[in-house]
Each structure stands twice: as C-alpha cells, then as structure tokens.
C-alpha cells in the first residue's frame, strides 16, 4: 500500500473503567498523491482517532506512519513543524473551529505566522486562498459570526490550504451542513484538489458523500479496517457483510420503492468487551461457527481490494 501517506499496523489503546481497549487496532492503508481515500463507518469505530494519529495530534501505541517515505511516528519538534505544513485538517464543526474573536484574515494567517512568513507574503497568500475557496478577499476583515455555515467551512478550508499542504484530512467536514451546501463544499474540495494536486483523507459516516468524492474507500468496524477497495468496486459489489449492510441501509431516492435488502441489526459492540472471533459476527446474517471463534485476517481479495472476512461476498443485501 504505497503512496504519499503509508500507515502500517497503527494501533491506539485507551483505558476506561480500569479496562484497556483498542480504539484503533492494527490499521494499514495508504493515500497516493492527488488521491482521495474515504474512511467510513459507524460512530465509535475509530475513524477520528485514526485521523488524529496520522496528524500526530494523538500518539500511537504501535505501528508506523510514513509521509513521503519518512517515518514520522516518532518525529521530533523540527520534523513536526514541517509535517504540520504538509498535512493540514478541516474539522467537522465550522462554528466551533473558528475563533469568534479573530477576524478571518487572522484565522487564515495563523499557520503562516507560525511558520515565520513575513507580513507581505502572508497578506498575498490570504487573498489568494480566499479567492480559491470562492470568498472575496475584502471579507478578510469580517468576524466569523458574519458568515453562514457553508462560508465558515470555506474559511476553514482556506486556512488548511494556506501553508501549501500535500495532504488534507477532512474529518466529517460536511456533516454539519445542509445537503445543498454539502455539494458546494465537496465541489470546492475537488476543484482545489485538481488545481493543487492535493491528496485527501475524507472521513464520514455518510456513504453517499463518501461515494461522491472518493477514489478508494476504507470501511472501519470496531477499530479495524474490514474492507478496502476502489470506490466503484466497493459500491457495486461489497465483499464484507458489514459493507453490504451499510449500503443496503442507504435510503432510496424514491420513497415509493421502500426498503430493499437485509438490515443492519443491533448496535456497535463496546470496545471494552469486543465479541470473540470476528467482532462483527453477532450482527452478521451469514456468520458461521468459525466466525465465532477465529478472527479473520486482512487479506487481498482481487486487484486492489482487501477484506477482513472468512466468507467474503456471500451476503446478498
């Protein structure tokens, strides 16, 4: 799994109630230059923890993170400064991720000030990225409260673009927006990606959004990637039962068609007490005795597809 970003065996454990549990467990994946990798799964599956480790906002307990071939898992302060410039993030909530006491100019300029840019260069770059995200540069003297949710997210994207990153992590970046505004922001991200050659790591629980923007998709369940495939292949023929049931749960555009296929029953198990064997087996309609006692490995299926399942492709959802 080679590319701009390479993650191998990444693991993070926490302690709750005296119990040590894995929030992210042995995750391996990669993102190529100019590519969008979507990461999808239910709330609590480990998506955000994985993103925070990749950004070095949370320390990992095992595995490696390589960016442009350099191991950044244990990067020092100087290496982290360069990493921050190359890897930026767009947060979920455009209302709480912008300081209401700062003008837009200061918000976008913050990473550039931290990098030591001079004032004329900062001013020119702020105007440049504001135009790139579709905001007039003269809006730079306004405060965040003067903008809509979609405009605030554009400001957040401008801030992420300002230092010239090669990878942007979008953590539920459109989930707080109306559907029509979501489409505008997704188009903006695609345009910026095409123009600047950016790679995107796009995290969402919304399969329709992930399908719209991703080149490849990783499906996470209880801290692990259970399926990794090119977008078209995954949506046309999911191999893991969990992926198939997630897709079957997506509402039909025409309500008259009703619900079709199997349902995803039950709740995500607690990571404090994961089921034995395959963690998905209590909710899986095709689980067998082997699934209840033997954890499946993450193995290549065909082409660029990987799946963590003893009996891939057997569910018809």
How many separate domains does the chain show?
Answer: 1
Tell me the C-alpha distance between 128 and 161, whole Å.
10
Contact 150, 129 (CB under 8 A): no
Residue 119, φ and ψ in degrees, nearest 5: -60, -45
Model confidence over 252-292: pLDDT tens digits? 555 555 545 567 888 889 999 999 999 999 999 999 999 99
Domain-embedded: residue 116: no
Sequence-ordered list of residues with C-beta below 8 angstroms from that of 119, at least 6 positions apart, any chain: none
Per-residue pLDDT of 50-101, as tens digits, reads 999 999 999 999 999 999 999 988 888 878 888 889 999 998 888 888 999 9
CATH number, residue 186 = 3.40.50.300
Residue 132, in any domain of the structure: no
pLDDT band (50, 70, 90) for residue 306 = very high
From CA 214, how far away is CA 204, in angstroms rounded?
11
pLDDT interval class at 312 (50, 70, 90) = very high
**Can you give the pTM of this predicted structure?**
0.92
Does residue 219 register a pLDDT over 60? yes
Instruction: Residue 250: count other Cβ atoms within 10 Å of its Cβ.
Output: 13
In angstroms, how far is CA 162 from the centroid of its own chain? Answer: 20
Domain-embedded: residue 127: no
Please report whether residue 103 resides in a domain.
no
Mean pLDDT of the chain: 91
238 to 31, 206, 216, 286, 314: CA distances (angstroms):
21, 16, 13, 14, 10
Question: What's the domain range around 251?
Answer: 5-97+164-307
* 110 falls within a domain: no
Q: What is the pLDDT of residue 1?
A: 43
Residue 208 belongs to a domain: yes
For residue 149, tell me if it sits in a domain: no
């Amino acid at each position: 799994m080679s590319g701009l970003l390479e993650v191998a065996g990444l693991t993070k454990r926490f302690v709750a109630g005296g119990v040590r549990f894995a929030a992210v467990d042995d995750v391996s994946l990669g993102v190529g230059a100019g590519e969008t990798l979507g990461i999808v799964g239910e709330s609590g599956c480990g998506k955000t923890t994985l993103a925070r480790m990749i950004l070095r906002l949370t320390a990992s307990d095992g595995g490696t993170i390589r960016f442009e071939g350099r191991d950044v898992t244990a990067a020092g302060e100087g290496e982290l400064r360069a990493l921050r410039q190359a890897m930026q993030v767009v947060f979920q909530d455009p209302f709480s991720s912008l300081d209401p006491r700062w003008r837009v100019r200061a918000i976008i300029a913050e990473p550039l000030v931290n990098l030591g840019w001079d004032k004329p260069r900062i001013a020119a770059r702020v105007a440049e990225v504001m135009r790139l995200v579709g905001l007039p540069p003269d809006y730079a003297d306004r405060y965040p409260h003067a903008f809509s949710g979609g405009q605030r997210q554009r400001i957040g994207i401008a801030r992420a673009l300002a230092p010239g990153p090669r990878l942007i992590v979008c953590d539920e970046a459109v989930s707080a927006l109306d559907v029509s505004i979501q489409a505008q922001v997704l188009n903006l991200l695609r345009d910026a990606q095409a123009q600047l050659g950016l790679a995107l790591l796009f995290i969402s629980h919304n399969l329709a959004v992930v399908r719209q923007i991703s080149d490849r998709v990783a499906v996470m369940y209880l801290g692990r990637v259970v399926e990794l495939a090119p977008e078209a292949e995954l949506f046309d023929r999911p191999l893991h039962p969990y992926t198939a049931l997630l897709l079957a749960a997506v509402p039909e555009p025409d309500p008259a068609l009703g619900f079709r296929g199997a349902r995803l029953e039950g709740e995500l198990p607690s990571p404090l007490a994961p089921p034995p064997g395959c963690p998905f087996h209590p909710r899986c309609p095709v689980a067998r005795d082997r699934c209840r006692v033997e954890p499946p490995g993450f193995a290549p299926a065909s082409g660029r597809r990987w799946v963590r399942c003893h009996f891939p492709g057997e569910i018809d959802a």
